[in-house]
Amino acid sequence: MTEDEEVMQEVHGRVKWFDPSKGFGFIVSDQSESDILLHANVLRNFGQGSVADGAGIIVRVQRTQRGVQAVEVVRIDPPEGAVFPLGEEADQLVGADILALALEPARVKWFDKGKGFGFANVFSRPEDVFIHAEVLRVSGFADLAAGEAVALRIIEGRRGRMAVQVLSWESATRDHA
């Protein structure tokens, strides 16, 4: 196998852990003998600033003297067994119903991981959209940064509009074009 072919090897795995403040984390995979380093810059190139522990991930890897490193993120899936915590507003909503909702382009207004929620603004709409930390987690994120571009699937709840799925803007435009 040539060095170029090895760089482009796709590996399927799960996020072991990722710490945005440290700027890296690790992926575990049956296709690799050791953990795979996931650097924040590689994740940002995919369009996300964080990723949830346990999220499914497909990456292209490179073997270096320091070990196996992800050089490109191909896909991120929510952690297995994730249940969308939508409350009474959406008790009847199932996965297929969520995927049938339109993707709406938005910017994160603020998100406080400690409080467990935040808000985004959909382009050309005046009202805020509520984002719960658990919806963020099951969408494959660990955190959001103010100003971050995202695509949201939204329902109308008792207290206003609320996100039921969050996608990175880059992922949404690439995968749903």
157-171 pLDDT tens trace: 888 999 988 988 877
Residue with tokens 């490179």: 62
Share of the chain above pLDDT 70, in %: 84
CATH top-level class of 88-175: mainly beta
Domain 3-77: which topology? OB fold (Dihydrolipoamide Acetyltransferase, E2P) (2.40.50)
Closest CA to 75 of 27, 107, 32: 27
The pLDDT tens digits of the residues spanning 32-87 come to: 889 999 999 999 888 888 888 888 899 999 988 888 999 999 988 877 655 555 55
Secondary structure (3-state) at 71: strand
Measured between alpha carbons, how far is 171 from 159 in angstroms, rounded to an integer?
29
- What DSSP assignment string belongs to 18-42? EETTTTEEEEE-TT-SS-EEEEHHH
pLDDT of residue 177: 55
User: What residue spans define the domains of the chain?
Assistant: 3-77, 88-175
Measured between alpha carbons, how far is 70 from 36 in angstroms, rounded to an integer?
6
Measured between alpha carbons, how far is 59 from 74 in angstroms, rounded to an integer?
5
The pLDDT tens digits of the residues spanning 111-123 come to: 998 898 999 999 9
pTM above 0.85? no
* Common-topology check for domains 3-77 and 88-175: yes
User: Does the CA dihedral 48-141-173-6 come out positive or negative?
Assistant: positive
Closest CA to 154 of 127, 173, 174, 114: 127
